[in-house]
Structure 1
Amino acid sequence: MSYQLQNESEVREYLEKLAIEYRFGCYSEKKPEVCHLLGDYLEGIKKDFEKASKVYKSNCNDYDYAKSCYKIGAYNFLGKGQRNSKGDLKQAYHYFEKGCNLDDPESCLHAGLILMSKVISKEVERNVPKGVDFLEKSCQMKNALACFYLSGMHISGVNEKNNLDSKNDSNRNSSSSSTNYIIPKDMKKAFSFSQRACELGNMYACANLSQMYAKGDGVEKSEANAEKFKKLSLEMQDEVKKAQPALSFQQGINS
Structure 2
Amino acid sequence: YDLKSEEDVKEYLKNLGTEYRFGCFKEKKPEVCHLLGDYLEAISKDFQKAAKVYKSNCEDYSFSKSCYKMGNYHMLGKGGVPQSHEKSLEYYDKGCDLGDIDSCFRAGVVSVLSSKKKKPFSTFNHGVERLRKGCDGKHGDACHHLSALYMDGSNNKGDHLPKDMKKAFEYAVKACDLGNIQACVNVSIMYMRGEGVEKDQEKSNKYKNIAMEKKKEIERQKQLIFQEGLKPA
**Is TM (by shorter chain) over 0.5?**
yes
Q: Which amino acid aligns with 1:238?
A: K
Map of 2:229 onto structure 1: none
Q: If the length of structure 1 is used for normalisation, what is the TM-score?
A: 0.83
> Any stretches of 5+ residues in structure 2 without a counterpart?
226-233
* 1:114-133 equivalent positions in 2, closer than 5 A: 114-118=110-114, 121=117, 124-133=120-129
Q: Which has the higher helix share?
A: 2
C-alpha change, 1:120 and 1:223, in structure 2 (3 Å) is closer
Q: Which amino acid aligns with 2:39?
A: Y
- How far apart are the structure 2 equivalents of 1:230 and 1:185? 24
* 1:235-254 equivalent positions in 2, closer than 5 A: 235-244=213-222
Which one scores higher on RCO, CA 8 angstroms, separation ≥ 6?
A: 1
Deviation string, structure 1 residues 121-144 (Cα, Å, up to 9, x no partner): 466524111111100000011110
Q: CA RMSD in A?
A: 2.0
Say which SS state the counterpart of residue 184 (structure 1) adopts.
coil
Map of 2:207 onto structure 1: 229
Map of 2:185 onto structure 1: 207
Identity of aligned residues (%): 48
- Within the candidate set 151, 155, 158, 1:155 is matched to 151
- Within the candidate set 132, 140, 145, 1:144 is matched to 140
Map of 1:164 onto structure 2: none
* 1:1-255 equivalent positions in 2, closer than 5 A: 3-84=1-82, 87-118=83-114, 121=117, 124-160=120-156, 182-244=160-222
Cα deviation for residue 203 of structure 1 reads 0.5
Contact 1:76/1:82 (8 A) holds in 2: no
- How far apart are the structure 1 equivalents of 2:129 and 2:122? 13
- How far apart are the structure 2 equivalents of 1:45 and 1:181? 44
Deviation string, structure 1 residues 101-139 (Cα, Å, up to 9, x no partner): 101111111111111114774665241111111000000
- How far apart are the structure 1 equivalents of 2:47 and 2:195? 47
- How far apart are the structure 2 equivalents of 1:151 and 1:31? 39
Cα deviation for residue 242 of structure 1 reads 2.5
Q: Which amino acid aligns with 1:106?
A: D
- How far apart are the structure 2 equivalents of 1:113 and 1:203? 19
Contact 1:22/1:37 (8 A) holds in 2: yes
Cα deviation for residue 216 of structure 1 reads 1.1
- How far apart are the structure 1 equivalents of 2:103 and 2:122? 17
- How far apart are the structure 2 equivalents of 1:121 and 1:216? 34
Cα deviation for residue 181 of structure 1 reads 7.2
